[in-house]
Chains A and B, each alone.
Chain A
Amino acid sequence: AQSVTQPDIHITVSEGASLELRCNYSYGATPYLFWYVQSPGQGLQLLLKYFSGDTLVQGIKGFEAEFKRSQSSFNLRKPPVHWSDAAEYFCAVGPFGNEKLTFGTGTRLTIIP
């Protein structure tokens, strides 16, 4: 069965510092990977996705993620972070298509001045 682990429940970083949010997945075939962001009281917004090809994926708002098959990871990065990046971030994995996505439990990001 597919699964996603986001090992960090809560991360605090200083504004202007670099950010890396971890995501590890378990999937038996070629995974389709996504990162979503959720601001308080809002729905989820797609940051970026990986289907195939270049393992470094660029997304919106200056985010990027790197797919590492050998480590079963799809970590999200942003250098540098801005106060507006404070939110909750979800990693998701699924087969071709979206109908059986499995989400991680999320990482809450706090930005300090």
Chain B
Amino acid sequence: NAGVTQTPKFRVLKTGQSMTLLCAQDMNHEYMYWYRQDPGMGLRLIHYSVGEGTTAKGEVPDGYNVSRLKKQNFLLGLESAAPSQTSVYFCASSLRKEGAFFGQGTRLTVV
């Protein structure tokens, strides 16, 4: 039972490049989330999904897109990376009323 798996773990991008972060969970959770973590700011919700085929904006959605084509996967896309998107990205999943399970994180640097 792997829980929540994020791919890749590290990435360096040049400004303007695009990339997709993949999150996979094997717990049959309905809810999935993408957060970013920046020093001194805690975690901020980017986008979330309450079920297959549905997505919604969180607190800081600008510059990101997401898709949830399969229940177990939640993809986060950056169409044109900017240095302000340098951060650690966490995916999480949950049942609605339970605490979330987090992945190990993806450290992204945009130069």
Contacts and interface: CB of A to CB of B under 8 A. Distances in A.
Contacts of A43: 4, 90, 92, 102-105
A19 B44 CA distance: 27
Nearest to B9: A41
A45 B102 contact: yes
B69 interface: no
Interface in A25-42: 34, 36, 41-42
Interface of A is mostly: loop
Interface of A: 4, 34, 36, 41-46, 49, 51, 90, 92, 96-106
A34 B92 CA distance: 14
A103 B42 CA distance: 6
B61 to A, nearest CB: 13
Which 6 A-B pairs rank lowest in CB-CB distance, beginning with the nearest?
A: A43-B102, A46-B99, A103-B42, A103-B43, A44-B102, A105-B42
Interface string B22-41: 00000000010100000011
B70 interface: no
A98 B104 CA distance: 19
B11 interface: no
29 contacts: A36-B99, A41-B104, A41-B105, A43-B90, A43-B92, A43-B102, A44-B90, A44-B92, A44-B100, A45-B102, A46-B99, A46-B101, A49-B98, A51-B97, A96-B97, A97-B31, A97-B96, A97-B97, A98-B100, A99-B31, A99-B45, A99-B48, A100-B45, A100-B58, A102-B59, A103-B44, A105-B40, A105-B42, A106-B42
